Amino acid sequence: MKELIKFIKKTAVLTNAEIKQLENDYNEIKFLHEKIHSKTDEFLNLRRNDLDLFFKNLIATCDFFTNFIFDKKKLEFSGVYMICAYANNEFILGYIGESKNIYKRWIYHSKKINTKNSSSQRVHKQLNKLLRENKITTNDIYFIKIAEINNLRERIFHETELILKTKSIKLMANNKNILRLKLCPICDGVLNAKIDVIFKNNRLYNIYIIKCKNKQCMYEHIF
Ligand SMILES: [Zn+2]
């Protein structure tokens, strides 16, 4: 973002009001990025509030299951889901995932959580730690059905959007490398997803972007 600011200062001719607006935009975006990356309590709790709201909206509108009790009939679909640890009215940990068969995937997760089965997956490790330390019970682990999507590319795009929009280095268990598959609609190349900033019409905008890694390919999807 600093490079972008330098670029704007060099090239853009702005009125005082436009500069003021740009500073506001900058501070707002900086604030969001601090909430995502900071480990200090102040910013962490602000991000926790964002995720709390996100969780409550899901619970109000989607099917969800706790205590590892799943309704197979409702879950035999391909789609996007979220696992949340939510206890004592507080968002503790989240994870966004997608699968061709949600029921099978959730059974897999539940076998890796609250058992001595070892797992290298970050979400299992973190949930097991919370359970061991009695910070949560299995009743506080919510499996939420977010969307039914059959098409693989659409499903991964939806998952990626949600991973970027809920990003938090402390409160979300998703790994950094979220797009491993060759899903570019133009060249079938590998895509990259990130949070970025753009300068447009004299304003700064926070954007979420999925972009092709192949430099010859122009494909990008901004949301
Ligand atoms: Zn491409």
If you measure from the C-alpha of residue 3 to the centroid of ligand 1, how many angstroms do you get, rounded to a whole number? 26
- Is the pTM higher than 0.85? yes
Tell me the average pLDDT across 40-48: 94
If you measure from the C-alpha of residue 79 to the centroid of ligand 1, how many angstroms do you get, rounded to a whole number? 24
If you measure from the C-alpha of residue 52 to the centroid of ligand 1, how many angstroms do you get, rounded to a whole number? 36
If you measure from the C-alpha of residue 95 to the centroid of ligand 1, how many angstroms do you get, rounded to a whole number? 28
Given 3.30.70.890, 3.40.190.10, 3.40.1440.10, 3.30.930.10, which CATH number is that of 49-178?
Answer: 3.40.1440.10
Per-residue pLDDT at 176: 66
Burial class for 135, CB neighbours closer than 10 Å (0-12, 13-18, 19+) = middle
If you measure from the C-alpha of residue 191 to the centroid of ligand 1, how many angstroms do you get, rounded to a whole number? 7
Per-residue pLDDT at 127: 96
181 confidence band (pLDDT: 50, 70, 90): confident
If you measure from the C-alpha of residue 82 to the centroid of ligand 1, how many angstroms do you get, rounded to a whole number? 28
Per-residue pLDDT at 9: 75
Break the chain into its structural domains and give their ranges. Answer: 49-178
Whole-number mean pLDDT of the chain?
Answer: 91
If you measure from the C-alpha of residue 55 to the centroid of ligand 1, how many angstroms do you get, rounded to a whole number? 34
Higher pLDDT, 72 or 86: 86
Contact status, residue 144 vs residue 81, Cβ threshold 8 Å: yes
Element (H, E) at 160: helix 152-165
pLDDT, one tens digit per residue, over 19-39 is: 889 889 999 999 999 999 988
Q: What percent of the chain has pLDDT over 90?
A: 73
Per-residue pLDDT at 177: 60
Tell me the average pLDDT across 193-203: 90
If you measure from the C-alpha of residue 182 to the centroid of ligand 1, how many angstroms do you get, rounded to a whole number? 9
If you measure from the C-alpha of residue 89 to the centroid of ligand 1, how many angstroms do you get, rounded to a whole number? 44
If you measure from the C-alpha of residue 164 to the centroid of ligand 1, how many angstroms do you get, rounded to a whole number? 20
Per-residue pLDDT at 11: 78
- What is the Cα 221 distance to its own chain's centre? 16
3 confidence band (pLDDT: 50, 70, 90): confident
198-219: b or e for each residue (b if 16 or more CB lie within 10 Å)?
A: ebeebebeebbbbbbebeebee
If you measure from the C-alpha of residue 11 to the centroid of ligand 1, how many angstroms do you get, rounded to a whole number? 30
pLDDT, one tens digit per residue, over 151-174 is: 999 999 999 999 999 999 999 999
Per-residue pLDDT at 114: 81
pLDDT, one tens digit per residue, over 113-148 is: 987 767 889 999 999 999 999 999 999 999 999 999
As a whole number of angstroms, the distance between CA 9 and CA 2 comes to 11
Residue 87 predicted with pLDDT over 70: yes
If you measure from the C-alpha of residue 153 to the centroid of ligand 1, how many angstroms do you get, rounded to a whole number? 13
If you measure from the C-alpha of residue 212 to the centroid of ligand 1, how many angstroms do you get, rounded to a whole number? 5
Q: What percent of the chain has pLDDT over 70?
A: 97
Residue 49 predicted with pLDDT over 70: yes
If you measure from the C-alpha of residue 185 to the centroid of ligand 1, how many angstroms do you get, rounded to a whole number? 7
